[in-house]
Copies of this chain bind each other. A is one copy, B any other.
Amino acid sequence: MDFKGKIRIIPDFPQPGVLFKDITTLLKDGEAYKAAIDALVERIRPLKPEIIAGPEARGFVIGAPIAYALGIGFVPIRKVGKLPAETVSVPYDKEYGRDDLAVHRDAFGPGTRVLVADDLLATGGTIGATVDLVEKLGGLVVGAAFLIELTYLHGRSALTAKLGNDKPIHALIQF
């Protein structure tokens, strides 16, 4: 399936000069959405993850159905102040600013095999913070999955430097 053709390009969002990749045109196409999740699941399954961790909010629309399809748990990574129980948090630089991300301290135990997932790999800031949070809890990141990779922002190099060369980074669509 032509997944790339299902992504809409929006110029100058959220700021001038940015060509925003809009995934809602893929999500609303049931056949394309299911095929995209299934294609990621096929690549992820051999990594034997026990948990999918994904940052809010668009990471949820990729990570949650992957977890459902694999029959494993989903752990939401959220902005500070959103999770109700005890959390650990990390600051991070995102593509258009700075923020903090948090995870519940009891989200999973040490040694749990965790796959991190988001809609988009840009500079790698958001997913890097997600990896940091997983590792703070003693989790083992077994790989990463994205719908889209913006190759010109070199997030793959940044993420590989963090995870090591042996951890697969899967992205279904490259721009």
**Could you tell me which A residues sit within 8 Å of B by CB distance?**
8, 10, 13-14, 20, 22, 24, 27-31, 33-34, 37, 50-51, 56-58, 60-61, 64-65, 67-76, 78, 81-85, 104, 107-108
Contacts and interface: CB of A to CB of B under 8 A. Distances in A.
A13 B84 contact: yes
Given A22-B85, A30-B67, A61-B64, 15 more contacts: A10-B84, A22-B84, A27-B74, A27-B75, A29-B73, A30-B70, A30-B72, A33-B74, A34-B71, A57-B76, A57-B82, A58-B76, A60-B61, A64-B64, A68-B69
A64 B30 CA distance: 11
Interface of A is mostly: mixed
A30 B74 CA distance: 7
A94 to B, nearest CB: 14
A71 B31 contact: yes
8 contacts: A20-B84, A28-B75, A28-B107, A31-B71, A56-B56, A56-B57, A58-B76, A65-B65
A103 to B, nearest CB: 9
A115 B73 CA distance: 24
B33 A61 contact: no
Contacts of A72: 30
A106 to B, nearest CB: 9
Contact of A76 (B10, B27, B74): B27
Contacts of A108: 28
B107 A24 contact: yes
